[in-house]
Structures are given as C-alpha cells and as structure tokens.
Amino acid sequence: MALSPAATVAAPGTDDPYPRGRALAAAAEKVIPGGVNSGTRFVGEPYGFADAQGPRITDVDGHTYLDYHAAFGAILLGHNAEPVNRAVTEAIGRVDLTGLGVTPIEVELAERVSSVIPSVESMIATMSGSEATAQAIRLSRAVTGRQHVIKFQGGFHGWHDAVARNVISTRERAYGTDPLSRGILPEAIASTLIAEFNDLSSVQALFDEHDDQIACIILEPIPHNVGALLPTTEFVNGLRELCSRTGTVLIFDEVITGFRHALGGYQEVLGVTPDLTTFGKGMANGHPIGGLGGRRELMDHFDGRTGDVLMAGTFNGHPLACAAALATIDHLAENPDFYTRTHALGERMRTGLDAIIAELGISAYTSGFGGVFNVYFTPRQPSGYRDLLDNDNAAYVAFHREMTQRGHLMLPMALKRNHVSGAHTADDVEQTLAAAHEVLGLMAGDGRLVRS
C-alpha cells in the first residue's frame, strides 16, 4: 500500500493503516444509520477525514491525498479557499438568520446569478440541489397543468420521489421501473418517463405516447452522475425545439455543470437556453446552497402574495451560504484564467490517460469536459446509457480504489467522475498520471482489464 504521506502507517503490533478511521466508523455506526449522513458516503477505507486544504485532504489516520472526488464536485476552487472563508467570516459578524423579509446579501446574490447565467431572469435560493429540482418540477406541473416528467436513464436529480429512479441501473432494470428507494408511491414512479440521452427519437416516442401530458424534460446537460456523456448539438437543439413547440418546460439541471464548466454554466457553452435552471454544488465552494432560476413569468408563480406555487424554507437564502456563493462567483468572474487553467489540466489528464490506454492496449475510453475526467472500461466510446451497460464496473471501482491507495482520492463507485479544482497544479496531474500508469499496468497484467 502506497499511501502518501502517512503520519500513522499502522497501529502498534498490527498491519492496519486505518486504526483511527475504523474506530471512528464504528463509533458513527452506533449513532448514525450506516455510519454516514448520506447513503453513498460509506465506501470503506479511508473512513473519515480530519483536514482539507487546497487540492489535498487528510484522513483521520494522517494519510494525505490529492482530492479528485471533491465532495461530489462541490469543491470548485479548492478546499478552504481563502476568498470564500474570508467572506463567510465577515458575514458572521454582520447578520445571521432573520427568517423574515430579505437581507441585502440575498438580493446581491440573485442579481449576480441573473447577470451570469443566460436563462436566469429571477431566482430563488435553496439549501440543496435536490430542493431546487423538486421546486422546478412542481413549478413545471403548475404552469402547464400536465402530469408527466421526462428524465434520462442515468441522470440523477436528487432524492425526491419524482426523479428517484433509473440512475445507475442494471441491464435488467434499465429503462424499466428502477426506483432508488422503497417508500415511493407507485403513482410518482409512473409519472416519470425514461428516455435515452443523445437519442431524440426516444423522447419523441414518449411525446407520441403521452399526448399533451408532458410537463417538463429535466436533464443534466452533461450526465456527470454516470461519468461524462457529452451531448450532441443535434440532441440539445432538438430538445429545445420540441419543448418550444409543445409548451413543455425545459429544465437544465446544472447542479454539477453550473459554474464548473463556465461562469454561465454549460448552457453558455452549448448556446442553448432552457426555461429553468437548477444549480448548486460548486456555486459556494462546499457551503450548503442550491438555487433555481429562469424566465420571470415562470418564477413569479413563487410570489407569496400573488403566485400559486409554494416556496418555503427557513434556511433558504441563508446569509452565510449567500456570502460563500458570492465570493465564489466573484472569484470566477475576476479570474477568467480559472477556466483556461482547469480546462487545460483536465485535458492533460484525459490525453495522458488516453496515451496510457493506447500503450497498454486495453479496452477503455476517457471522457469528460473542462476539469472533469473519467475512464470508462467499455468496448466503445459511450454516447448514451445503453453503451454504459457494457462498462466493466468491477474494473472501474478497482481503478479508483487503487488510485486512492496511492494517494489520489477517487470515489470507488462505478461511473463516478473525477474533478480538477482550481487548486490543483500541473505537477499534481503528472503525479496522478504516473500513478494511473502503474495501476492500469498492474490491472492489465493480472487480467482484470480486457485487451483491445
């Protein structure tokens, strides 16, 4: 095991490099269901973390890792970024939670977001991306008077009933009924229809079957919850045209892509304007906030005096989260080289991995955009979820786990992407590529990878 560096390699008299982590996990399991506060956080070693600075994170046993997991992408600038910490500290000294009226910082954030995201004329601040997508779907149903939602197989839009289905499905359950949880009403499952990403005909078929009953289409413009499937121009333009023609609300879930790929979100890159946009994650560099914005005539349905759609939440627009978001957005606006740097580092990571794959002659493909990268272990370059049914999930998990063991933290779950933050350096990327060369070489040598 090549952890880097390790202040505590093993407990005296044992070969266990994670004694404190195992003890922490055992204590957590006594008071927290499963030992974690979000279902996908428990992945085994490393079990818990004590410190995070810049591109690095340190576990409770003293092992330090280059962090490419980045809290599922919430860390954009790097851990504990000084401009964000300073803004939050200053906000603490001014105002905390009022729960009445509005604070200047809420208005300032809404003005700033409206000025940078093309689709946003008006916005609401939530505490999470799941809340934002729940509100977007409720609003879509209200303004259209229709029932059905279209989502894409593999897309994840939060924990609520309307979309908690058909994410990383098995071959047997893909495109069928595949809820993420028990306890969801069958009617909620049935009201959400499943299409194939990058396949406009699959969307049209649902419109043909459910005439005048499609309230909205919701999609991650890049489905990062299954790595990085890049949309075709024909596909996204076709969705926009179809929604405009049928009066269906087009929702871009930019909780991951927003602010990470461009200041105006991935919609700025595509040149396609949705009706509603949800955002969160990197918006506040790890502080808890999400948001929903769009055309004013749609958003005005949330007006508590004249509207007809409920918007409520004591912590919505919390001043500390707003301060963190403003500081993050301002940093991105004032440092446009952030995008050129992270995109260049991401591209170096992808081309470096491509070279390793070609050298080893293995059946694998890189994908990603900007600072996001991942390696699919598939027989062909994936364009939709059907291609991902052939992914070697065991190899995917093994690659990420062995990279983590060498000090490069990658979530050991199938189809999860990796993120380059603003704090990573060219040297960090080269170290990671060297480790990847070693790991993929070992996996190819012992037969865990298919030769191309």
Residue 155 pLDDT = 97
Owner of token pair 């919609």 = 267
Residue 4 reports pLDDT greater than 90: no
Beta pairing class for 192-195 and 214-219: unpaired
Question: What's the pLDDT band for 8 if we cut at 50, 70, 90?
Answer: very low
Domain covering 19-80+337-445 in this structure, CATH number: 3.90.1150.10
**In this model, does residue 9 exceed pLDDT 50?**
no
Q: Per-residue pLDDT tens for 249-262?
A: 999 999 999 999 99
Are the beta carbons of 150 and 216 closer than 8 angstroms? yes
Which pair of tokens denotes residue 352?
């470096």
**What is d(CA 36, CA 43) in angstroms, rounded to the nearest whole number?**
10
Find the length of the chain.
452
d(CA 375, CA 415): 9
What is d(CA 98, CA 314) in angstroms, rounded to the nearest whole number?
Answer: 9
Task: Write down the pLDDT at residue 7.
Answer: 38
Average pLDDT (99-120) is: 96
Per-residue pLDDT of 135-170, as tens digits, reads: 999 999 999 999 999 999 999 999 999 999 999 999
pLDDT band at residue 14 under the 50/70/90 scheme: low
Per-residue model confidence as pLDDT tens digits over 354-409: 999 999 999 999 999 999 999 999 999 999 999 999 999 999 999 999 999 999 99
Q: Is the confidence at residue 6, as pLDDT, over 80?
A: no
- Write the pLDDT tens digit of every residue in 396-414: 999 999 999 999 999 999 9
What does the pLDDT read at residue 107?
97
Q: Say which CATH architecture domain 82-334 belongs to.
A: 3-Layer(aba) Sandwich (3.40)
Least confidently predicted of 9-18, 121-130, 417-426? 9-18
Mean pLDDT, rounded, for 114-129:
97
Which residue do the tokens 């893909």 mark? 174
- 415, pLDDT greater than 50: yes
Does pLDDT of 13 surpass 60?
no
> What is the token pair recorded at 403?
């990279």
Q: Please give the backbone phi and psi of residue 124, each rounded to the nearest 5 degrees, phi first.
A: -120, 145
The average confidence (pLDDT) of the chain is: 95
| pLDDT > 70: percent of the chain | 97
- What is the pLDDT, as a whole number, of residue 2? 45
For the chain, domain boundaries: 19-80+337-445, 82-334
